[in-house]
């Protein structure tokens, strides 16, 4: 999870220093229905515009590492879907949060 910022001070920066891991899901967190596997996670309340980015693997590695020469690439797969952008806003006169997905 990370903060969405506008006008990054360094356009050559290839990372967002606010990004952090908020959860690690393991097979005990999954539910299987036939060939469909699902997991549910409740995102903490947001106080500013943020993004959520999921990453997954079929291994026990916590972080991806380069494959050694000759390794079968299908033995350690990683997936990286597009981030989900969340916009923080409060409705007038309400204390609650609305978190619509940014267009």
The series of mean pLDDT values per 10 residues for the chain, 103 residues long, is 75 80 88 91 85 86 86 86 83 53 48
pLDDT at position 103, please? 45
- Report residue 30: phi and psi, to 5°: -95, 155
pLDDT at position 56, please? 87
Task: Name the pTM for this structure.
Answer: 0.64
pLDDT at position 35, please? 92
pLDDT at position 92, please? 60
pLDDT at position 33, please? 94
What DSSP element (H or E) covers 49? none
pLDDT at position 91, please? 59
Distance (Å, whole) CA 51 – CA 1: 6
Give the residue extent of every domain in the chain: 1-61+73-103
- Report residue 28: phi and psi, to 5°: -70, -15
pLDDT at position 7, please? 64
pLDDT at position 99, please? 46
**Residues 78, 70 contacting (CB under 8 angstroms):** no
């Amino acid at each position: 999870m990370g903060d969405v910022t506008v006008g990054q001070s360094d356009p050559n920066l290839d990372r967002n220093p606010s990004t952090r891991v908020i959860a690690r899901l393991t097979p005990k967190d999954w539910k299987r229905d036939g060939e469909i596997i699902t997991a549910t996670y409740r995102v903490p309340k947001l106080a500013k515009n943020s993004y959520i980015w999921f990453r997954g693997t079929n291994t026990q590695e916590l972080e991806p590492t380069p494959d050694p020469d000759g390794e079968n690439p299908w033995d350690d797969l990683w997936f990286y879907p597009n981030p989900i952008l969340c916009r923080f806003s409060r409705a007038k006169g309400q204390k609650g949060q609305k978190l619509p997905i940014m267009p």
